[in-house]
Amino acid sequence: MSNRRYYEDAYTTQFQANVVEKIIENKRQGLILDETYFYPESGGQPADWGKINGRSLTHISIRESDEAVVHWLDGDMGDVQVVTAVIDWPRRFDHMQQHTGQHILSQAFIQIAEAETLSFHLTENNLTIDVDRVDMTEAEITAVELRANQAVWANHPITVRFVTQDDVASLPLRKVPPVRNGRLRLIDIENYDLTACGGTHVSHTGSVGLIKIVKQEKRGDKTRIEFCCGNRALQDYAQKHTIVSDLTAELTTSAAEIMPSIIKIRQENKEAQRTIKKQKEALMTVEAQQIIANSIQIGTTTVVKQTFAEDSPTDLRALAAQLTKQEGLIILFGQSGKRTQLLFSRSGNVSADMNQLLQAALAQMGDGGGGGSPQSAQGGGPAHTSQEVTDALDAAQSKLEKMLSS
């Protein structure tokens, strides 16, 4: 089993070690070293990245049988006994900031909101804890964030120590996981927090830099808190600052007036949409009257047949719905262009089958498809000229005449 040196020292980024075992699995080589500073994926924290003898690691895991740390490489490194390893420090320090920030924030939730942390999850772009309260107010969340940052600014020393199972009962631990090999690793934030943890942490709370809660979401009987620390918090601020700057320039207003300006714009847009809707309805009424004026009569049935150009702004469905409110009316609409559209509909008191008419029109076009009911049918196909669409409507009309005369 590897000696996990990161337990006592999270700041070493380059070291030498002896290879004690080699594993070949799925064309990958896994090395087990006599000691390692590489953190393997565990406890909600991702694994470190880095290189061994100049070759990049693909993953770092823990072997279940003996808890040895396995350093996975892409390919075979060959017969080596001693290796030089380099840890990706920016990634390591990021994880140290985030994980330490989680300890600080979890203690702040206990102190301010009496909310215990149920779980912790850290990824490349996301950091969350779940706490056991769902009724926290915005004021409490704000107070928790302030308390956490006060702990950062106090720059409390952070130390690592190991205790035995017998020592646990006498310690004010926030969280007690199962004891590993008779020992429990404690992260002690002086005068602030004491908890058992196997992850990597900074040496003083000041190195966390900043803790910012960015989102809270109720999930059943718990609340998920999304937050960021250190450099991630700085990046989050930089992104949002850019957005705010762009909005103030676009809206020609101050940052404090962004929301009132947006609310005003939304209200104006709603009013504009209502005006446009009324204008469309008025225009459609006029258009419907013009179309009916050019309709034909087949017995007692009025047939409205029209071919629309590709660039026509008319909403065929809305126009057909308005026209068929009248009794004794059949609509045969077609639209030419890159994609041919056909829409046939009738009033409720007409007995003709619109789907049969549509099939007659499609047969005339020679391609396309569609269907529907006796009340309404629609379809279409590839590009057709205005005349070809008109010919298809004529075929539907001929079919209709036969229906109505039978």
Q: 58 to each of 33, 46, 48, 55, 72, how far by Cα in Å?
A: 16, 12, 10, 9, 6
**How many Cα atoms occupy the beta-carbon half-sphere of 117 within 13 Å?**
22
Q: Which residues contact 397 (CB under 8 A, 6 or more apart)?
A: 298, 303, 305, 332
Q: pTM of the predicted model, to two decimals?
A: 0.74
Write 308-311 long-range contacts (CB < 8 A, 24+).
Answer: 308/333, 308/334, 308/335, 308/336, 309/335, 309/336, 309/337, 309/386, 310/335, 310/336, 310/337, 310/338, 311/337
The DSSP string of 59-110 is EEEE-TTT--EEEEEEB---S-SEEEEEE-HHHHHHHHHHHHHHHHHHHHHH
- What type of residue sits at position 106? S
Rounded CA-CA distance 151/165 in Å is 29
Per-residue pLDDT, 139: 96
Mean pLDDT, the chain, rounded, equals 91
pLDDT digits (tens, 9 = 90+) for 207-216: 999 999 999 9
**Could you read off the pLDDT of 119-131 as tens digits, one per residue?**
999 998 899 999 9
Other residues' Cβ atoms within 10 Å of the Cβ of residue 383: 11
Distance of CA 25 to the CA centre of its chain: 34
Q: Is the pLDDT of residue 178 over 70?
A: no
Q: Say whether pLDDT at 176 is over 80.
A: no
Identify the DSSP state of 325: T
Dump the DSSP string for 153-213: HTT-BEEEEEEEHHHHTTS--S-----BTTEEEEEEETTTEEEE--S---SBGGGG--EEE
Average pLDDT over residues 367-377: 91
Tens of pLDDT along 329-360?
A: 999 999 988 889 999 999 988 888 999 999 99
Residue 112: pLDDT above 70? yes
- pLDDT value at residue 312: 65
Average pLDDT over residues 167-193: 82
The band of 274, judged by pLDDT with boundaries at 50, 70 and 90, is very high
Please determine, for residue 242, whether its predicted confidence score (pLDDT) is greater than 90.
yes
What pLDDT sits at residue 51? 95
DSSP 8-state class, residue 375: S
C-beta of residue 117 within 8 angstroms of C-beta of residue 129: yes
Q: Among residues 204, 148, 197, which one has the least CA distance to residue 175? A: 197
Residue of 399, 393, 398, 368 whose CA lies nearest to 308 = 393
Given pLDDT bands bounded at 50, 70 and 90, which one contains residue 77?
A: confident
pLDDT of 180: 66
Check residue 217 and give its pLDDT: 95
The residues, any chain, with a CB within 8 Å of residue 297's CB and separated by 6 or more, are 303
Using CA atoms, how far residue 401 sits from 245, 353, 406, in Å, is: 67, 12, 9
Least confident of 128-132, 177-181, 183-187: 177-181
Q: Which of 341, 310, 304, 342 is nearest to 324 (CA)?
A: 304
Residue 339 contacts residue 320 (beta carbons within 8 Å): no
Q: Which of 65-79, 101-115, 196-210 has the lowest mean pLDDT?
A: 65-79
Tokens of 76: 């075979």
Better pLDDT: 284 or 14: 14
Read off the pLDDT band of 177 (50, 70, 90): low
Percent of the chain with pLDDT over 70: 97
Residue 5's nearest CA partner among 230, 166, 185 is: 185
Q: Each residue of 275-321: pLDDT tens digit?
A: 988 888 787 777 777 778 778 888 888 899 988 887 666 678 888 88
Q: How far apart are CA 157 and CA 217, in angstroms?
A: 32
